[in-house]
Structure 1
């Protein structure tokens, strides 16, 4: 009996995106990218600044149109934002004029979900991210880490099949970042079984973060997909997990792509000695 074939959730075919600068010159932000992401996969996208990661994420979200090629999500070519796709931005995207629970409910309200049902869903996800005690607080009363928890609760509560996160934890301190990585993984894995999980695209500059989170790491450089790496280590992945030979080998490969290691595996010196 043949093994089951993973259902394709995201399909990009020969996607390109160009921009016009103010001086009239053309910038090729994304060049001929083709890839497939199965349902339930956690994919991290990594690369140096300006390599096209966030541009590609915005196109999958429907916030930008490709200049050429096609993007299909859940069997339908996208033509703009849709409720089957949710996004957490690098900067805070919590509405400051709404209390916490109203923020989490907002997408459900826009979809016409009855008030009692959406309140119950919002409270469930606030509980899951550890914010049940601040549901009536204003965003200005919360820390940066708490605001990210609100954003994560909001995007999961809205029920999208595909979730996109653009460097959501980059501005947070070390402890808070690791706590939120655990929160995100717990929510992603909450239903159990690959087919029931959301499909996640997660942009990061942090190699260890990608290794801790991802089933698969896509590496971008100058608008192109330059590597596609599987991460098969079991979860949860702690510090010892990242020191296993297979994980160290992937890390060296990633650092090489980022220009932080020579082919020998030795780190490239940064700065000058004091």
Structure 2
């Protein structure tokens, strides 16, 4: 019975992959023909099956951008960038989409060693750093065994130095992996989807209005109370908006 269920599961997975491939080609055809709304519908059908990829989000962002849907285009470009953080095409298109936003918010620049460490940390995803850690552990074990069993003094010396270098790189990449994990845990980005959102001083409609945000602006979610989210901007400003005004990434 278990074997039968396994076979059914495998066949269902292959069938779903084939269906998604057909849908993806169909969506791309719609996009190339200038039928962007139809392309979006087809791409969303793939998302509904639980399939996620940088390419899928990127194409969704492109289709929304063509229709001047500011918030959705930025949202899907950001989703694509989460899965493929070093893709220059995604970065460029995201930059074009951000140029359509109204809000001009300053970014507090990082300086010194913090800038270097964070820049290096964001070069790979957490999974990427974890895989790199495993590679250096494997290299250390192989090189140390080579050192242990080598007869030649020169080979022993080279293997020992190489194994120590692998151990050092293992420690560095392990630290970067944990740092990336901690940054990801604190990173709760969202995109403003409301055409205009009133940012309040407290999580209620009677509180003072601090400022207003417009669609496409990226914020960080700091806290949640009932139907309200506390947000923080890149310039350090904070306030409360209703849940319906933003969409978490």
Q: TM-score range by the shorter chain?
A: under 0.3
The structure, 1 or 2, with the larger RCO (C-alpha pairs under 8 Å, 6+ apart) is 1
Compare CA radii of gyration and give the structure with the larger one.
2
Higher helix content, 1 or 2: 2
Question: Which structure has more strand as a fraction of its residues?
Answer: 1
TM-score of the two chains, using structure 2 as the length reference: 0.26
